[in-house]
Structures are given as C-alpha cells and as structure tokens.
Structure 1
Amino acid sequence: MKISISNEIYSIFPKTALGVLSYRAFVEPSSKEFTKLFEDVIDKLSQKYSIEEITKNPHIISTRQAYKALGKSPQQYRNAAEAMLRRIIKGKGLYHVNNIVDINNLISITSGYSIGSYDTKKLKGNIELRRAESRLHYDGIGKDNINIEHLPTLYDELGAFGNPTSDSKRAMIQSGEKDIISVIYAFDGDEELDFWMEEFSSYLKDYYGVIKVEKLII
C-alpha cells in the first residue's frame, strides 16, 4: 500500500505532510489505566485552555490555513483537534470509543494535530491525500451525508474515506483484531511528527501490548 500527497495539495499548501503508523492491534474498550490517564489529561486541558488559546496552537492554525487555501471554511468545518478541544473547555468532555480511537484522540488533543485511524482491510489499493471534488459527500461516523468538498481528503481505489474533520464509516475502527493505519495530518511541515508518532507508538505498546509499529513520514 503506497501512500502519497497529490501535486494539487502540494501546490496549494506546500508544507502538507502525513505521519503514518501501521500496526496490528486487538480493538477493545480502553483499559481502566488508560481511561484514567485520558480523563486526567482532559481535566488539565480544561483548566489550561480558553477558546482564544486553542486558536493559537500552531498545528490548529496551520490546519485552518490549509482549509481556507483549499476553499473550505475552517469555522464551518472545524478540524477534529480543534473541535475536541472546544468540547473540553466547555465542560462536555470526550466520548470513550475504543482503545485505538481513544489513543488517537489523546494524541490529537495534546498535540493539536488532527488524526484518523483506519481499518486497512476495508481499504483497496494505494492511498492519496487529495483536495476533495466539488459537491462530494460521504457517510461519516455518527454523521450522515457529510459535505467534504475541498477538504484535504484520503482516497483509495474505492473513493474518499477520511479527512481531518470527520472520517467515513467505511474504514472505521471496530472491535476485534485489526490491521490499522493511523494518519497524523500536518500542514506546517514534519518537524514534530517523529515525536508524536513515538508517543502514539508508546501508548500502543505500554497499554495494549502492540509489539510492532511501523512509522513513515510523507
């Protein structure tokens, strides 16, 4: 499976990069230990952040800038990292989904990067990050018929399946032993991707016994 970024994306927003982790894991509810860590981080972030401070996070800033450059309103279609942080400071917390999605979300709220995790068995062929076509929609996770036009979006041979705002149902992470790719969407270069990919990998290994995690920066 080759993963790439389209020339169109590069020409519009040259600092676009992807951090990709590939691994096999048993998907299940998060452990008590990880859930406690997750909730402790949420408590700290709720005290640390304000709406104004969220918008100063460099990774959130660059994602918003990329959306605008690609022709999508960053206010109307917030990236996932920003949307989750806004929930936290409003006291709404975050849902617990499963161990993989919870790690995904923990890294996202602590870094400011939006991240998607995908079941590779539901994908076909090579993957490319593209600017989604006009009037394109897909069925999102918990949200039907999402307008994804002009968002930076991952495609395989079957079509669009993920972006920094909301992923499709097709490759969503469900229970059981799965082969997974987790993708960190970066729009301000790749300088911090190694660090956050290592953090993600450490959670997988320390809390859920994942032995092998392959890491690639694109």
Structure 2
Amino acid sequence: MHFSHSPGLWADFPELVPGVLCATGLHAPAQVDAAVEGFQAIARSRLAAVGSESELPEVQAWRRAFSRLGLKPTQYRCAAESLLRRFKKEGTLPRIHPLIDLCNAASLAFAIPVAVFDVAQVAGWLQVRRAGGQENYLAFSGETERPEPGEVVFADAQDHAHARRWTHRQSRLSAIRNETAGVLIVAEGLHATAAGDVPRLLQALSQALGQAWPVSPISRVLTAQAPRFDFG
C-alpha cells in the first residue's frame, strides 16, 4: 500500500508539508490520559494568547487554501479549526477511542489537521487528489454521497473517498473502531513554519503511541520531490 498527493495538488499548493505515520498492532484498551491532557494544556495556552482560533497562523493558512478551492472558510472549516472551536467553547473534547482522542488532542496542540485511517478499509492505496465525479463517500449518517468533480478528496484504488473537502470531513468507511489494528495517520500543514511543526507533531504522536501500545510507528515528511509513502 502507499499514500501520496497528486502532482496537480502539489502544483496548486507548493507550500504543503504532509507528514505521515503508520503503526500496526493497536488495540482499543490503552491509557492515553496523560498525553491527551498534555496536548490539551498546550492548546489552552495557545488559545489564551489569541482572540480567536482563527488568528492562529496554521488555521489562517487553511482558510486561505479553502478560499482558493472556492469554499467559504466559515462554512467549511479544516478539522483542526473545528476541534479548536469546540474545545474553546466546552473546555474539553468527548472521548471516543484512545487513538482518536490522542490524534484529536495533538491536532489541538499544533492547530494542524490530523486524519487517522483504518488501513484495513483502504483499497490498495490512498491519494489526496481532485475528485473526478465517480467517487463514493460514506457519511457517518450511513448515507452515500458523491463528491463534486474538482473537490479535493482522499481516494483509494476503488474510488472510495475517505475524506471530503480535503481536511474538512472524514468518511465512516475507514473510521477507527475497536477492532482496528493498523492505521495511517496524516497531518498536513500549509503555514510558514510547517516544515518544522509537522515533524514535531509526528515525533510527539510517535512517542505517545509507543507509550500507549506495543507499537513502533514509522513516519515520514513528504515533499513534491519525494511524494510517496509506502506502508503495510
């Protein structure tokens, strides 16, 4: 299996810094409270220093990207901004699954979208690209949607769209569940310091994963010159 971004997407967003991490041998029972609380403390500190999460440079960069894609930034927010808005309002996030809780908390701390996929539900490979119109997306409601042509999706070899509108909404198909054993985690930054921040995020997540599960994560930062990550 492999992961990549399409050449067209690299051409449109040369500032993109994608980080990928894979791990196998996970199981649901795990203690991640300390790591989650540590990430959330960083997020609280960062939010306290700004008037709104929209002022964070990481979020601003994604808002500009969504505008370039023809999306209204206040209607379609990247996953990190949505998490920060909820966290700021409620003071915490609901616990869902140890791995999801950990990735959400890391996303809060770094203000960078983090997606996590159950690789058993991905067919062949996964590429971030513009939709051709033939892809199918399984919403969490159970309904099947058809992404619009030109929309940025995470698509596999069978034209399953595992995320819509780039970092806005993930599919139910490859969502993490209790029986998930192997995962692919993708973090994408577009801001000026992403080249330093994304590796730090990967390192922090790798350390937290290794403390919670008997796993040895493999991670890499991709570039337009080396855009492919082989895993599995």
TM over 0.5: yes
Structure 2: gaps (5+ residues): 223-232
Q: Percent identity?
A: 21
Specify the alignment match of 2:58 in structure 1.
59
Cα 1:201–1:141, aligned 2, differ >3 Å: closer, same or farther?
A: farther
Specify the alignment match of 1:173 in structure 2.
176
The number of residue pairs the alignment matches comes to 215
CA distance in 1, matches of 2:146, 2:82: 17
Instruction: Name whichever of 133-142 and 83-92 sits farther off.
Output: 133-142
Kept in 2, the 8 Å contact 1:131–1:152? The answer is yes
Kept in 2, the 8 Å contact 1:12–1:69? The answer is no
Kept in 1, the 8 Å contact 2:26–2:180? The answer is yes
**1:194 counterpart = 2:192:** no
CA distance in 2, matches of 1:5, 1:84: 24
CA distance in 2, matches of 1:191, 1:98: 28
CA distance in 2, matches of 1:144, 1:94: 25
Q: Aligned-pair distance for 1:216?
A: 1.6
CA distance in 2, matches of 1:135, 1:92: 40
Tell me the secondary structure at the aligned position of residue 28 of structure 1. Answer: coil
Cα 1:135–1:65, aligned 2, differ >3 Å: closer, same or farther?
A: farther
Kept in 2, the 8 Å contact 1:27–1:175? The answer is yes
> Greater share of strand residues, 1 or 2?
1
Q: Aligned-pair distance for 1:88?
A: 1.4
CA distance in 1, matches of 2:17, 2:42: 29
Question: In the TM superposition, what are the counterparts of 1:1-218 in structure 2 within 5 Å?
Answer: 1-31=1-31, 34-35=32-33, 37-39=35-37, 41-42=39-40, 45-46=43-44, 49=47, 52-91=51-90, 93-133=92-132, 138-141=137-140, 144=143, 149=148, 151-159=151-159, 160-162=161-163, 163-188=166-191, 189-210=194-215, 212-218=216-222
CA distance in 2, matches of 1:4, 1:100: 23
Kept in 1, the 8 Å contact 2:188–2:198? The answer is no
* One-letter identity of the residue aligned with 1:128: Q
Kept in 2, the 8 Å contact 1:27–1:99? The answer is no
Specify the alignment match of 2:230 in structure 1.
none
CA distance in 2, matches of 1:96, 1:37: 13
Instruction: Name whichever of 196-205 and 12-21 sits farther off.
Output: 12-21
CA distance in 1, matches of 2:205, 2:62: 20
Cα 1:82–1:37, aligned 2, differ >3 Å: closer, same or farther?
A: same
CA distance in 2, matches of 1:20, 1:44: 22
Tell me the secondary structure at the aligned position of residue 205 of structure 2. Answer: helix
* One-letter identity of the residue aligned with 1:209: P
Kept in 2, the 8 Å contact 1:24–1:177? The answer is no
Cα 1:190–1:143, aligned 2, differ >3 Å: closer, same or farther?
A: farther
TM-score (normalised: structure 2): 0.80
Tell me the secondary structure at the aligned position of residue 191 of structure 1. Answer: helix
